[in-house]
């Protein structure tokens, strides 16, 4: 059971009795009794039993082989409680004539009638992600008053009138607010609690997979970049476009959704130290998300590399070190591609000139060796990428790198790297080629700085003001 929070689950992770509408080989569906299992953070599963003659294919006349399976984009079921379940990307596996196993990518449990449409589209969602309150920049309670100890009087709380933030743009309207819970009828206890919740209304309804890819996953990643930690989706509901009561949403169960809503506390928020405070910084979360969507479409290397690492828990510092440097190099190449094209033309012309001048002085074998070993691309690599990003960021990032044990050691005898970027190049080559290993803690100290660099630049790409970028380095 979930904890007592202002945001309540409509349906708990549990086993539910269901009547499934299984696909028939004759077209349409047929009813079969069974059960649905939805668990926190896991994909839903189910089972069905009955006579499955209408669902089974014969190998030859009168002969049926097992197992058999059928994939369906959506599978409908009716819960004994009166609710309905919609399984997305379901596979029904028949193990013998009267028993089947069901696996699906996600399950939507709803009171809406989802059996009326061949393809179910969703027009809005409500979500809670860890750290939403930390980036909001405004608390629900403005001030409190209470009587002196031992005296009679009034206990009261004044709420912030602007604790709800709304943003509108092309394609969506978004609202970040708090659900409140009040315990006031017990003559011995008076309390209030609040849970942050984000609602989004889409201008165009989308299939669930597209909704997850274009809105839910990017939103989780944007919040994680802001907080500097891998945030979980604790609750997610979606509203299907169906006939009848179109305002009935459905709770989503699937991998990565913990089904464990939380209440906000100042202790938790202070522990995050988010550099982004939406209200105070006058930043639109919707705009951040839509910029992320555009960068994703453009295949920006930082989005594809750093975005995929945001939720990788317990990753060894070696892996993070290599991926962060890859993100920096890729981002540098992407964002300086116009100047690189100019340098490439100059380099190609110079190379062709040199080869042409010595062509008559060398035999065929020597000329082939020269052409093969004379680089076709202008000098580049990790060092210019690190220098480029360091110049863009506030403060002296290279000085922070110099202060780490690993960089200091690589710059000392016998290696004698000339600077921090050169030391990073040496360590990267050793790790990438497996020629040398390094202490995990010393790597971790460098990784923390590299991640601050990449995270700060990600916030800059998303359009955050300079004050937000500067706060990323305040702790360092």
Provide DSSP, 279-328: HHHT--HHHHHHHHHHHHHTT-HHHHHHHHHTT-TT--HHHHHHHHHHHH
Residue 116 lies in a domain: no
Residues in CB range of 300: below 8 A, 6 or more apart: 331, 334, 461
103: domain range? Answer: 14-110
Number of structural domains (the chain) is 3
Q: Is residue 241 domain-shared with residue 358, that is, in the same domain?
A: no
- pLDDT score at 360: 79
- pLDDT score at 119: 77
Q: Is residue 135 domain-shared with residue 243, that is, in the same domain?
A: yes
- pLDDT score at 177: 95
Contact 157, 144 (CB under 8 A): yes
Residue 102 lies in a domain: yes
- pLDDT score at 214: 95
Residue 117 lies in a domain: no
Residue 391 lies in a domain: yes
Q: Is residue 335 domain-shared with residue 467, that is, in the same domain?
A: yes
Q: Residue 235's beta-bridge partner residues?
A: 128
Residue 6 lies in a domain: no
Residue 98 lies in a domain: yes
82, 110, 138 - which closes a domain: 110
- What Rg do the C-alpha atoms of the chain give, in angstroms? 29
- Short-list 42, 43, 34, CA closest to 16: 34
- CB environment 158-185: b (16+ within 10 A), e (fewer): eeeeebebebeeeebebbbbbbebeeee
Residue 151 lies in a domain: no
Q: Is residue 449 domain-shared with residue 309, that is, in the same domain?
A: yes
Q: Is residue 175 domain-shared with residue 263, that is, in the same domain?
A: yes
Q: Is residue 319 domain-shared with residue 435, that is, in the same domain?
A: yes
Please tell me the distance from the alpha carbon of residue 438 to that of residue 427, in angstroms, as a whole number: 8
Q: Is residue 180 domain-shared with residue 97, that is, in the same domain?
A: no
- pLDDT score at 86: 93
Q: Is residue 196 domain-shared with residue 319, that is, in the same domain?
A: no
Q: Is residue 220 domain-shared with residue 82, that is, in the same domain?
A: no
Q: Is residue 290 domain-shared with residue 314, that is, in the same domain?
A: no
Q: Is residue 83 domain-shared with residue 183, that is, in the same domain?
A: no
274, 302, 330 - which closes a domain: 302
Residue 7 lies in a domain: no
Q: Is residue 296 domain-shared with residue 353, that is, in the same domain?
A: no
- Regions in the chain scoring below 70 on pLDDT: 1-3, 55, 58-66, 116-118, 150-151, 243-247, 312-313, 337, 339-347, 349, 378-380, 475-476
SS3 274: coil
């Amino acid at each position: 059971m979930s904890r007592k929070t202002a945001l309540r689950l409509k349906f708990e992770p549990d086993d539910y009795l269901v009547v499934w509408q299984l696909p028939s080989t004759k077209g349409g569906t047929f009813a079969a009794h069974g059960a649905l299992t939805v668990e926190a953070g896991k994909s839903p599963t189910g089972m069905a039993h009955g006579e499955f003659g209408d669902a089974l294919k014969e190998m030859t006349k009168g002969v049926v082989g097992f197992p058999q399976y059928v994939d369906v984009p959506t599978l409908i079921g009716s819960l004994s409680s009166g609710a309905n379940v919609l399984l997305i990307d379901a596979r029904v596996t028949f193990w013998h004539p009267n028993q089947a196993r069901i696996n699906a990518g996600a399950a939507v449990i709803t009171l809406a009638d989802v059996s009326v449409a061949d393809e179910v589209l969703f027009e809005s969602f409500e979500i809670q992600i860890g750290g939403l309150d930390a980036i909001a920049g405004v608390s629900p309670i403005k001030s409190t008053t209470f009587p002196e100890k031992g005296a009679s009087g009034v206990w009261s709380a004044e709420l912030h009138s602007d604790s709800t933030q709304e943003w509108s743009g092309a394609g969506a309207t978004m609202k970040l607010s708090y659900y409140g819970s009040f315990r006031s009828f017990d003559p011995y206890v008076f309390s209030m609690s609040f849970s942050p919740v984000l609602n989004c209304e889409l201008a165009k309804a989308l299939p669930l997979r597209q909704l997850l890819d274009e809105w839910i996953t990017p939103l989780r990643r944007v919040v994680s970049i802001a907080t500097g930690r891998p945030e979980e989706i604790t609750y997610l509901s979606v509203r299907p476009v169906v006939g009848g009561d179109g305002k009935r949403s459905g709770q989503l169960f699937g991998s990565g959704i913990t089904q464990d809503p939380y209440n906000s506390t100042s202790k938790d928020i202070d522990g995050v130290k988010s550099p982004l405070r939406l209200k105070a910084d006058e930043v639109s979360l919707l705009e951040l998300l839509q910029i992320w969507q555009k960068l994703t479409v453009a295949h920006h290397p930082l989005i594809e590399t750093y975005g995929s690492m945001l939720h990788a828990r317990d990753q060894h510092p070696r892996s993070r070190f290599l991926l962060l440097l890859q993100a920096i190099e890729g981002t540098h190449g992407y964002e300086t591609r116009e100047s690189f094209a100019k340098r490439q033309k100059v380099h190609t012309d110079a190379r062709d000139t040199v080869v042409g001048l010595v062509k008559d002085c060398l035999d065929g074998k020597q000329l082939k060796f020269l052409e093969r070993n004379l680089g076709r691309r202008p000098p580049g690599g990790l060092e210019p990428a690190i220098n480029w990003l360091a110049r863009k960021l506030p403060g002296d990032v290279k000085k922070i790198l110099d202060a780490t044990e690993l960089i200091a050691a690589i710059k000392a005898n016998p290696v004698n790297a000339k600077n921090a970027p050169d030391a990073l190049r040496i360590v990267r080559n050793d790790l990438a080629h497996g020629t040398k290993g390094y202490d995990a803690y010393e790597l971790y100290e460098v990784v923390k700085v590299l991640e601050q660099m990449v995270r700060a630049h990600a916030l800059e790409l998303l359009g955050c003001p300079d004050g937000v970028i500067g706060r990323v380095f305040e702790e360092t």
